[in-house]
């Protein structure tokens, strides 16, 4: 068994695609229409072209939206991405206007930082 896909609920798929590609640096893998106004959008790390993908899922299901809002309101990250140099990545993202909720901080043998993905989620980056 291996991980090939994970989902991140987003409040706006176009905004999410722009943020995850233009700001975070992921590459678009798929962008195809599905039922109604929604699309199947996946992005992946250019460092792992055959690795796991992130699906940018619309948060149209009311219980999922409630869960997403509860996580955000509690300051809990939805997911985490690994970086090689967290301080360099923190400075790069801050220069692009990313709002951080937590600056790089040592926790349990890792350095972590948490930012707002502009689509309803807090995302953690970590090095360690």
45: domain CATH number is: 3.10.180.10
CA distances from 19 to 66, 106, 111 (A): 22, 26, 23
Question: pLDDT tens for residues 32-56?
Answer: 999 889 999 999 999 998 899 999 9
CA geometry: angle 12, 61, 37, nearest 5 deg: 50
For residues 99-116, give the mean pLDDT.
96
Q: What integer pLDDT is reported at residue 49 of this predicted model?
A: 82
Q: For residues 1 and 8, give the distance between their C-alpha atoms in angstroms, rounded to a whole number.
A: 21
Among all chains, which residue has been given the structure tokens 């250019």?
46
Domain that holds residue 92: 5-60+68-127
Q: What integer pLDDT is reported at residue 55 of this predicted model?
A: 98
Q: What integer pLDDT is reported at residue 35 of this predicted model?
A: 83
Q: What integer pLDDT is reported at residue 81 of this predicted model?
A: 97
Percent of the chain with pLDDT over 70: 99
pLDDT band of 85, cuts 50, 70, 90: very high
Q: Which residues of 11-44 are buried (b: 16+ CB within 10 A; e: fewer)?
A: bebeebbebbeebbebeeeeeeeeeeeeeebbbb
Question: In whole numbers, what is the pLDDT of the chain averaged over residues?
Answer: 96
Number of domains in the chain: 1
């Amino acid at each position: 068994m291996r991980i090939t896909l994970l989902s991140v609920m987003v409040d706006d798929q176009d905004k999410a695609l722009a943020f995850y590609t233009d700001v975070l640096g992921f590459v678009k893998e798929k962008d195809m229409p599905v039922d109604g106004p929604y699309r199947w959008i996946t992005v992946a790390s250019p460092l792992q072209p055959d690795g796991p993908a992130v699906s940018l899922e619309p948060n149209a299901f009311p219980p999922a939206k409630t869960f997403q809002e509860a996580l955000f309101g509690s300051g809990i990250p939805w997911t985490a991405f690994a970086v090689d140099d967290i301080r360099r990545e923190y400075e790069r993202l801050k220069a692009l206007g990313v709002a951080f909720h937590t600056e790089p901080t040592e926790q349990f043998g890792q350095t972590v930082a948490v930012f707002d993905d502009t689509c309803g989620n807090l995302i953690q980056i970590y090095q360690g």
